[in-house]
């Protein structure tokens, strides 16, 4: 029974019970009293004397007695009915109080078990939902704090290597170790290269931080994915061939469109292929790109014939400065942020990226982005969103 029903019943009984009991009691007492007196009356004169003596007194004492008796019954009824209602409130309040104490003590796994179906049911459910969200939020804060510490350690490590090299070559110039113009030029070229490495690393870190804060400007538009991939490969295949990576297109959809920033989209392609070029084991490696559209999703698959990644490390490929990333030991080969930037950019496009090892050798990176109709009316697209 809900608390509302109990209150309704108690309000009715609070009036009915005292009135009924008091009326019965007064009636019974009067009947007993009158019966006792009538039995002792023998003559008409005695009856008249009874009316003169007791009738006025009963007119005063009777209502007073009835009022006192009514108040007493009202008090007892109130006590009983209050207990009747409060017993349904006490248990959930104690459960909620215990839950608050558990949460405040740090036991975020505590949940209230409440089997009744009354007004407290949604309150207990909301408490449990709050506990779940609080635990998720605190876990996320702890994870972000751990990532922040790891990021700072990784940045320090990555900056220390080129800075140490720069310092060493500058000291070589100052101390006269580079005593010929050719050697001096070689030292300066190395210093410039290390400076470029630092500049690239800082630029990538700034780009990642801006995206992570969500304030990096974008200019999304409806794009034909086949045209974007074809244009990107046509413009960059010679650059990747020089790095020892041959790029090929396997399959392109006839009509696939996405709503995205073209600059960020090409940055995603570049970061994925840079990863393949960076970790190839052979002098010449191959990467293929295949695109399909199905179920409202544009799916772009990048496959290479490189060494792959240990299975346990696959989900961590998209962490910034993941510690097992060999690029940390060779800053000129990459900042270690490329795939993390790609994942962040895709997140802003309502897309995602995941990694799997191929059956033989190589890594497969799958990009998924929601597809849209191939019209150029961006306002109508936004209305559909």
CATH number of 152-213: 1.10.287.130
Residue 312 has pLDDT above 90, yes or no: no
Residue 68 has pLDDT above 60, yes or no: yes
8-state DSSP, 363:
E
8-state DSSP, 333:
G
DSSP β-ladder status, 352-357 and 245-251: unpaired
Q: Which two tokens stand for residue 19?
A: 């009135």
Its CATH class, for the domain covering 221-384, is alpha beta
Q: Which two tokens stand for residue 110?
A: 């505590």
Please tell me the distance from the alpha carbon of residue 17 to that of residue 163, in angstroms, as a whole number: 91
pTM value is: 0.55
pLDDT band at 57 (very low <50, low <70, confident <90, very high): low
The predicted model gives 78-97 an average pLDDT of 73
Quick one: which of 229, 250, 228, 232 has its CA closest to 303?
Answer: 250
3-class DSSP state for residue 258? strand
DSSP β-ladder status, 285-294 and 245-251: parallel
Name 270's Cβ contacts closer than 8 Å, sequence gap at least 6: 232, 236
Q: 3-state DSSP helix/strand/coil percent for the chain, to nearest 5?
A: 65, 15, 20
Lowest average pLDDT, out of 12-26, 164-178, 253-267, goes to 12-26
pLDDT band at 345 (very low <50, low <70, confident <90, very high): confident
The predicted model gives 60-73 an average pLDDT of 66
pLDDT at 35: 60
Give ranges for CATH 3.30.565.10 in the chain.
221-384
Residues above pLDDT 90, as percent of the chain: 18
- Number of residues that this document lists for the chain: 385
Q: Partners of 248 in the beta sheet?
A: 288
3-class DSSP state for residue 309? coil
Quick one: which of 329, 233, 212, 245 has its CA closest to 290?
Answer: 233
Residue 125 has pLDDT above 90, yes or no: no
Please count the CA atoms within 13 angstroms of the CA of 152 that sit on its side-chain side.
Answer: 5
pLDDT band at 324 (very low <50, low <70, confident <90, very high): very low
Lowest average pLDDT, out of 58-72, 87-101, 112-126, goes to 58-72
pLDDT at 97: 86
Q: What are phi and psi of 350, to 5 degrees?
A: 65, 25
């Amino acid at each position: 029974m809900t608390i509302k029903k109990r209150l309704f019943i108690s309000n009715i009984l609070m009036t009915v019970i005292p009135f009924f009991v008091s009326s019965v009691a007064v009636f019974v007492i009067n009947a007993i009293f009158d019966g006792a007196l009538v039995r002792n009356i023998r003559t008409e004169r005695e009856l008249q004397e009874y009316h003169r003596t007791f009738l006025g007194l009963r007119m005063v004492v009777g209502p007073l007695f009835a009022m006192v008796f009514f108040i007493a019954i009202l008090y007892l009824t109130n006590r009983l009915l209050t207990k009747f209602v409060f017993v349904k409130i006490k248990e959930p309040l104690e459960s909620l109080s215990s839950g608050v104490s558990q949460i405040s003590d740090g036991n975020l796994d505590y949940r209230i078990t409440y089997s009744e179906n009354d007004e407290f049911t949604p309150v207990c459910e909301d408490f449990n939902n709050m506990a779940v969200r609080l635990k998720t939020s605190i876990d996320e804060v702890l994870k972000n704090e751990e990532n922040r510490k790891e990021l700072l350690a990784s940045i320090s490590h990555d900056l220390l290597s080129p800075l140490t090299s720069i310092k060493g070559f500058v000291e070589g110039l100052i101390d006269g170790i580079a005593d010929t113009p050719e050697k001096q030029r070689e030292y300066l070229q190395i210093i410039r290269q290390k400076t470029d490495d630092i500049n690239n690393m800082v630029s990538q870190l700034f780009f990642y931080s801006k995206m992570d804060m969500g304030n990096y400007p974008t200019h999304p538009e409806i794009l034909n994915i086949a045209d974007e991939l074809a244009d990107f490969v046509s413009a960059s295949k010679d650059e990747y061939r020089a790095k020892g990576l041959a790029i090929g297109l396997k399959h392109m959809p006839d009509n696939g469109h996405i709503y995205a920033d073209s600059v960020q989209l090409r940055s995603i392609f570049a970061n994925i292929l840079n990863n393949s070029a960076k970790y190839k084991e052979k002098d010449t490696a191959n990467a293929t790109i295949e695109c399909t559209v199905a179920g409202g999703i544009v799916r772009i698959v990048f496959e290479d014939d490189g060494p792959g990644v240990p299975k346990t490390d696959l989900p961590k490929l998209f962490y910034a400065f993941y510690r097992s990333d060999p690029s940390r030991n060779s800053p000129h080969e990459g900042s270690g942020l490329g795939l993390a930037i790609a994942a962040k950019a895709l997140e802003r496009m309502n897309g995602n990226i995941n990694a799997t090892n191929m059956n033989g050798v190589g890594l497969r990176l799958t990009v998924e982005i929601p597809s849209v109709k191939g019209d150029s009316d961006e306002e109508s697209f936004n209305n559909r969103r």
